[in-house]
Amino acid sequence: MNDKQRVAHFAAQRIKNGMTVGLGTGSTANYFIEALATRVVTEGLQVKAVSSSVVSSLKAQQYGLPLLGIEHISVLDVYVDGADEVSPDLSLLKGRGADLVREKLLAKAGTEFWVLIDQSKRVQHIGQNFPIPLEVIPFAWQMVQREVSQLGGQGRLRPSGNGDGLAVTSHGSLVLDVIFPPELDTRTLNDKLNSISGIVEHGIFFGLTTTLFTGHDGRIIEQNP
Ligand SMILES: O=C[C@H](O)[C@H](O)[C@H](O)COP(=O)(O)O
């Protein structure tokens, strides 16, 4: 078992009977879905799941987890997902995939938001290893690019996987991957990005994590903000 599998398994043991659980997207979220489904089968655990992407829906379906459509809920007991970066104040960078909109909606709808990572995701500041993904309304991308450049951001549209087109998210947006000056603190950047018209959603998850579980050398470290 690697650290991602171990942390996913650990979090799945924390789910209680009757909970509505949001399922994240990515390899760690997939391990969590598998571990949760195993409890449903072996222990008769009763849960309802809401998925953040087509991929996690398919995974949940494959394991027989009962799914609710996101349009049918307004609140969750817990949302469980991975992250691309986590800073010491438990801010996150997410969105290397294409499911940012649903991921942030579910993170906000969760009474709790559990973040599952291995040690490689720990950073000193958000944006250290990856640009910040901004999901933008396609016709507004140049206006958004101009606004972020006034904050010192250097952005380019994300190419599609094969490189001969543009990446389109599951929400139908384009993605501007933007590198911001490191001295711009996460809270300020989060506030500024929230206020730019044309940005549908962005990859900074500020003040949302309720518990961080880190798998590190076979141990689980649990932290609250
Ligand atoms: O959009 C992608 C999500 O933010 C993932 O949670 C993130 O990329 C982490 O993925 P993984 O668990 O595969 O490292």
The domain spans of the chain are 3-123+206-223, 132-203
Could you tell me if the CB of 25 is within 6 A of ligand 1?
yes
Judge whether residue 135 has pLDDT over 80: yes
Q: Give the helix ranges, DSSP H, for 27-140.
A: 27-43, 54-62, 100-109
Say how many Å lie between the CA of residue 93 and the centre of ligand 1: 9
- Kindly report whether the global pTM for this prediction surpasses the value 0.90: yes
66-121 tens-digit pLDDT: 999 999 999 999 999 999 999 999 999 998 877 899 999 999 999 999 999 999 99
Mean pLDDT value of segment 6-11: 98
CATH superfamily entry for domain 132-203: ACT domain (3.30.70.260)
Judge whether residue 19 has pLDDT over 80: yes
At residue 98, the pLDDT reads 79
Fold of 3-123+206-223: Rossmann fold (3.40.50)
Length of the chain: 225
Judge whether residue 163 has pLDDT over 90: no
Judge whether 43 counts as a catalytic residue. Answer: no
CA–CA distance, 105 with 151 (Å, rounded to integer): 26
Asked whether the domain spanning 132-203 has the same topology as the one spanning 3-123+206-223, the reply is no
Say how many Å lie between the CA of residue 30 and the centre of ligand 1: 10
At residue 69, the pLDDT reads 94
Could you tell me if the CB of 203 is within 6 A of ligand 1?
no
* Residues 82, 198, 52: CA angle, nearest 5 degrees: 25
The verdict on ipTM greater than 0.90 is yes
